[in-house]
Amino acid sequence: MLPALMHATQVASPFHTKGWVYEEKYDGWRMVALKDKGRVRLVSRNERDHTKRFPHLVEALTNLKPASFTLDGEVAVFDEELVSCFEWLRRAIGPRTGLRHLNHGDLATPPLYMVFDLLQLGEKDYRPEPLKARRKALEKLVKGQSLVLPARRLMPNGFAAWTEVLHRGWEGYVAKDPESSYTGGRTLKWLKVKVPEYRVNAGSTIPRRCRNHYEEDDAAMNDPGNWFALLGVFGLFAIAWALTEINDTLKGIREAQETLATSGDDL
């Protein structure tokens, strides 16, 4: 059984709260990585096992030194501009097992596991610890990995972070209280803001850049092959991921009121 997952509350507008951190919101598939006595499972929030869909991620997680851990994150794919898209991921995975190959020239990565929290490591339950301690342990755990990465942290100012979101074409950001513990259910300690242009369709958010490629992806999704051919260019993505930064600030946006999300849970 999965631990009770923590869910962000959606608010209407970007904001800044002193001391909070801002993370990129991925257009991906939320997945919990469970490792017990060296055996890894990837389980969605509705407790369905998807381990066989992502053998390359299972291998990467298996190779991490601790014999047991519980991670919370999202599986996502990215293009050369570091934009994630759930539709590309959906078309990349088979109906039950394995990966398909998308002949999409803009994609720079295979499915990656973007981890935003650490719940358990070895015998220690990290959930009562503040986020800043969990993040520190998480970064140490995945240091040097290329397929399992910590969620990207944005500018420390919420308005500057939102400028980066708009500039990069991302789905939004999640603002978090670094002093908060990990508690199950909807919380006001994690607040998510989405770009208005994103729309819900068949249970997933679909940005315009994804929709523009639907027809060509439909024709390519049944081609044989696998994602490992993309790893040759992944080094360029990793460098861009590490070096990308923006100095613009966004002023004059009023602080968002805290309101419960009206839509369903995130993917």
20: helix, coil or strand?
Answer: coil
How far is it, in rounded angstroms, from Cα 54 to Cα 152?
21
From first to last of its 267 residues, the chain has per-residue pLDDT tens of 899 999 999 999 999 999 999 999 999 999 999 999 999 999 999 999 999 999 999 999 999 999 999 999 999 999 888 899 888 888 777 555 555 554 455 567 889 999 999 999 999 999 999 999 999 999 999 999 999 999 999 999 999 999 999 999 999 999 999 999 999 999 999 999 999 875 444 344 445 556 444 434 333 333 434 444 444 444 444 444 444 433 333 333 333 333 333 333 344
pLDDT computed for residue 98 by the predictor: 53
pLDDT at 197: 72
Give the residue carrying structure tokens 């990837």: 42
| Torsion angle (degrees, nearest 10) of CA 16, 19, 24, 28 | -110
| Number of Cβ atoms within 10 Å of the Cβ of 162 | 27
Structure tokens at 239: 């460098």
DSSP characters over 233-245: HHHHHHHHHHH--
R_g over Cα of the chain: 18
Q: Which of 25, 176, 192, 194 is catalytic?
A: 25
Give the phi and the psi of residue 198 in degrees, each rounded to 5: -75, 140
Is 194 annotated as catalytic? Answer: no
Question: Which domains does the chain possess?
Answer: 6-221+235-243 (3.30.470.30)
| Confidence at residue 106, expressed as pLDDT on a 0 to 100 scale | 53
What would the two tokens of residue 140 be?
Answer: 């140490």
C-alpha–C-alpha distance, residues 230 and 173, integer Å: 27
Residue 170: what pLDDT? 94
Distances (CA, A) of 219 to 35, 99, 201: 37, 16, 21
Measure the CA–CA gap between 228 and 230, rounded to whole angstroms: 5
Rounded Cα distance between 121 and 105, Å, is 38
The Cα diameter of the chain in Å comes to 52
Look at residue 209 in the predicted model and tell me its pLDDT.
Answer: 57
pLDDT at position 249 is: 30
